[in-house]
Amino acid sequence: MSLFDARFYEFNVHLPPDADSLTRFALEAKRYGYSGIALINSKTDRLDNIPQDFSIYSAVEVSGKPSKLRDEVKRYRAGRDILIARGGDEEFNRAAVETAGLDILLQPAKFNHVLAKAAYDNSVTLGFNAGSIIRLRGEARVRELRTMRANLKFARKYEVAMILTCSPNSSYDLRSPREAAALAGLFGMTEVEAVRAMSAVPLDILRRKSPDYIQEGVEVI
Amino acid sequence: MTTIPTLRDKKRYIAFEVTSEQIITRSELSEEIQNSVSSLFGDVGANEINAGLVSFERGYGILRCAREKTTQSRAALACINKLRGARASILVLGISGTIKGAMEKFIQQPPNKDS
């Protein structure tokens, strides 16, 4: 049995808001070996022509001032959407990891051990954006790789959950799980960690979003 | 020139599929792969990986690389996002030890994902 016999999820998909591109993207994602995606800031009620055995979840990207972040998260929390914050300056990252309802903090550039501990305590998942390796070249890519290598070190030390995404804007930005794992290998992530970051961790987030879930260790059976 | 088997470079052949907005030629793809490999791993890395486009027809291609460097070659292929200015993406179908194997297994009969 191969390491890659798992169900893979891509949790950071930005698409133009028409049903046609969603259908095309879903077909392509299934062909690439994914079992589900989460669409950012987009309506997921018109779900026709979606391939079988493929699920589409909705996600919200929260942003704005660090002081407003908590209110924003509270507002969306009841809606069972996956909440994603894009890493910003240190103040923003601090606010993000200290907000218990937030699910993913994507690619924070200035991360440290204090933030890592807080992320673990509030079960905020640390996101790694493999899309930046795909799209950037030269010095910018070196900088992103360095950020990711540093974040990986903190995540390992403080056991923060990691999630790996390609952040696709169209079906051309999508990469298969094996390719994503190879890209993650460029900054030191092992294959096992990469597979976990694309299958087990997303599934865990979905479990926490299910209506039966109350808090860690308590759920309706 | 042929050499004795133990001294041959050990290779792997990566079968892949290109999805692009435009029709691309073999030489364009070959150039882009070399660019991607050298920008990602530098001149020394590119030499160790020993990447070379073996064949490319109708969107399906085979890339040669060193046996120990398949992961790096995959990463280099994944880093290609534009071909001749048009958006593109490459999906690896499989890896084989021979060109014939890569052809027969992955390109002539693309593997059925469900089985």
Tens-digit pLDDT profile for residues B25-66? 999 999 999 999 999 999 999 999 999 999 998 889 999 999
Q: What is the DSSP string of B73-111?
A: HHHHHHT--EETTEEEEEEEEEEESSHHHHIIIIIISPP
As a dihedral over the C-alpha atoms of residue A133, residue A4, residue A202, residue A168, rounded to 10 degrees, the angle is 30
Distance from the B13 Cα atom to the nearest Cα atom in chain A, whole angstroms: 16
CA nearest A183 in B: which residue?
B75
Distance from the B100 Cα atom to the nearest Cα atom in chain A, whole angstroms: 23
Tokens 């993207």 belong to residue: A25
Across A170-196, b (16+ Cβ under 10 Å) vs e yields bbbbbbbbbbbbbbbbbbebeeebbbb
pLDDT at site B47: 94
What is the pLDDT averaged over residues A132-160? 93
Res B107 pLDDT > 90: no
pLDDT at site A51: 75
Distance from the A204 Cα atom to the nearest Cα atom in chain B, whole angstroms: 25
Tens-digit pLDDT profile for residues A100-126? 888 999 999 889 999 999 999 998 999
Helix (H) or strand (E) holding B61: strand B60-66
In a mutational test of the A interface, the residue from B16, B20, B73, B74 whose CB has the highest number of chain A CBs within 10 Å is B74
pLDDT at site B110: 57
Residue A81 has what DSSP assignment? P
Tens-digit pLDDT profile for residues A46-88? 666 677 788 888 888 888 788 888 888 888 877 778 899 988 8
**Residue A85 region by backbone torsions, left for phi larger than 0, else alpha for psi between -120 and 50, else beta:** beta
Tokens of B67: 């046996």
User: Alpha-carbon distance A155 to A157, whole Å?
Assistant: 6
- CA B91 to chain CA centroid, Å, is 10
pLDDT band (50, 70, 90) for residue B69:
very high
Contact yes or no for B105/B96 (Cβ under 8 A) = yes
The CA–CA distances, whole Å, from A100 to A105, A118, A123, A163, A205 equal: 12, 9, 7, 17, 13
Percent of chain B at pLDDT > 70 equals 93
Nearest to B65 by CA among B23, B109, B13, B27: B13
Predicted structure pTM score: 0.88
CB proximity A35 to B under 8 Å:
no
pLDDT band (50, 70, 90) for residue B115:
very low
The interface predicted TM-score of the complex, written ipTM, equals 0.87
Residue B9 has what DSSP assignment? P
